[in-house]
Each structure stands twice: as C-alpha cells, then as structure tokens.
Amino acid sequence: MRIATWNVNSIRQRLDYTVGWLRANQPDVVCLQELKCTDDAFPRLEIEGAGYNVAVHGQKGFNGVAILSRHPLEDVMTGLPGDDADEQSRYLEATISTDGGSVRIASIYLPNGNPIASPKFDYKLAWMDRLTARARMLLELEVPVVLAGDYNIIPMPIDARFPENWLADALFQPESRGRFRALAALGYTDALRACSDDEKIYSFWDYQAGAFQKNNGIRIDHLMLSPQAADRLKATWIDRDERARDKPSDHVPVVVELEIPIR
C-alpha cells in the first residue's frame, strides 16, 4: 500500500497537477492539506474521475484537509477532538479496509504558529497536545495507523538547509520540536528518518530568493507510523520533481510504502 501526503496550497489552483500526479503514480491513499476551499467547492468529480473516493473537511480561503483513497473510506471523522470551539479545518481521519485488515489514516495540517510571541503559537502547542492525546487513543486500536500531513515542524537541524535561519521561527522552537518528539515517545515512527539519515532531504521550499534552485529547503511534511504500521514499512521517498513545475505548490508529495495486502 502506497500512502502519500501533499500540501497542495490550493486544490483548485493545482487541480491539473494533482490529477496528473495521481494518474502517473497511482498511490492507494493521498492525504491533502491547505485545500483553501469549502467542501462543496472541492473538485470531487475530477478526483473521482481519477479513480479515488473522497473525504473532505474544507474551509473557505484557508486550511482544509482531504483523504483520497482507491478503496472505500469508512468511519470518517472530521476535526481533532479536544476543543469544541476550534473551527479551523485541520484534521480528518478515516479507515481503509484491506485484505490484511484495516488501516486508520489521518490527514493533518498543523498550525504554523508564527509569530511566536502571539496567541498563534499558543494555539499551535495546544493543538499538538490534542494531537498527542488522539494519537495515544489510536494506538489502542492495535491496527496500523498513519498520521500524515504538513506538521509545520522541523524536527531536527538536519531537516533544514540552514537551521540557524529558523531559530526565531515557530517551526523550529524547542516547544514545537518537543511535542513532535512526544509522538515518537508514544511509539510512532518518522517514516522518512526510519529509511534514511541523509542530509538535504526536504519537502518545502519557499517561493522567494530562488530557494528551490539553491535547495534551501526544510522538511516539515511527515508520515508518523504506529508500531503496527512501522513493522510493515518498506520504503519512503519525496517526489522533489513536483516543485520544479510552473507555479507549483511550495510543498511536494512525501510517499510511504507499507507491506499491507490490498484488495
């Protein structure tokens, strides 16, 4: 089973790229972030035409997450538990059944948190505490769980070309990185780092100052695997070529392959 995560930075602006990537790569599941559209404005027909079932949790002009699956989506849950007042569309869960059992998958668009001396950073940290609580509950299912998305967190200095440039940014604060490590402490595995400790592997390049051409990137898009999923990990890779397109997203797809039979 191939599972991908991709912050598309507006699904309607990059629909052709998204559909083209789906057709060319044929992933089983794709978690999308930063849709920037409501549920009814999501291009469902085009995605379904590419062979995918769709679950969407959208928001006008901001945020928004989706799960696309070549297999039926079951037990869909919208919103991250723990704060009934949170109206931001940043979290979506669904189960995908396979011959080998079921896989629980979440599409995550974690808050940016900047500036750090503001309520936005407090919201980011509180959101991560809620995510950790939910991740702990999902472990009780004792099935493969994949928490995939744009975490807006640079886990380690190796995950930035110039880590010193991010010292005052919410993505690289000790509190943010500590909460990412809290997921690992629960038993979740960072899929890419389980496969490679190479430097200069990034999933995001800013639009400014030729960042992509200079490979001045950061790795902030992650797939965190429960023990049952990590035991089935075969490979992980980043599709860097998508960033070289004309008017691309500033993020690229990150893909994990799990040894899970599919029907």
Contact predicate 189/155, CB 8 Å: no
151: annotated active-site residue: no
173 belongs to a structural domain: yes
263 belongs to a structural domain: no
CA 92 to chain centre: 11
223 belongs to a structural domain: yes
> Binding site for Mg(2+): what residues are annotated?
7, 34, 150, 152, 250-251
247 belongs to a structural domain: yes
150: annotated active-site residue: yes
Q: Under DSSP, is residue 24 helix (H, G, I), strand (E, B) or coil? A: helix
Q: Which position among 109, 151, 188, 202 bears the catalytic label?
A: 109
31 belongs to a structural domain: yes
199 belongs to a structural domain: yes
Mean of pLDDT values over 178-198: 97
Give the C-alpha separation, 202 to 169, whole Å. 17
Confidence of residue 151 (pLDDT cuts 50, 70, 90): very high
126 pLDDT exceeds 90? yes
> Binding site: what residues are annotated?
7, 34, 150, 152, 250-251
Q: Which position among 28, 39, 57, 150 bears the catalytic label?
A: 150
The DSSP code sequence of 145-171 is EEEEEE-----SGGGBSSGGGGTTSGG
pLDDT of the residue at 263 = 60
**Tens digit of each residue's pLDDT (9 = 90 or more) over 53-62:** 999 999 999 9
The contacts of residue 198 (CB under 8 Å, 6+ apart) are none
Query: The sheet that has 254-258: what strands, in order across it?
Result: 53-57, 65-69, 29-33, 2-7, 254-258, 233-238
162 pLDDT exceeds 80? yes
107 belongs to a structural domain: yes
Range of the domain at 180: 2-258
52: annotated active-site residue: no
Q: Under DSSP, is residue 230 helix (H, G, I), strand (E, B) or coil? A: helix
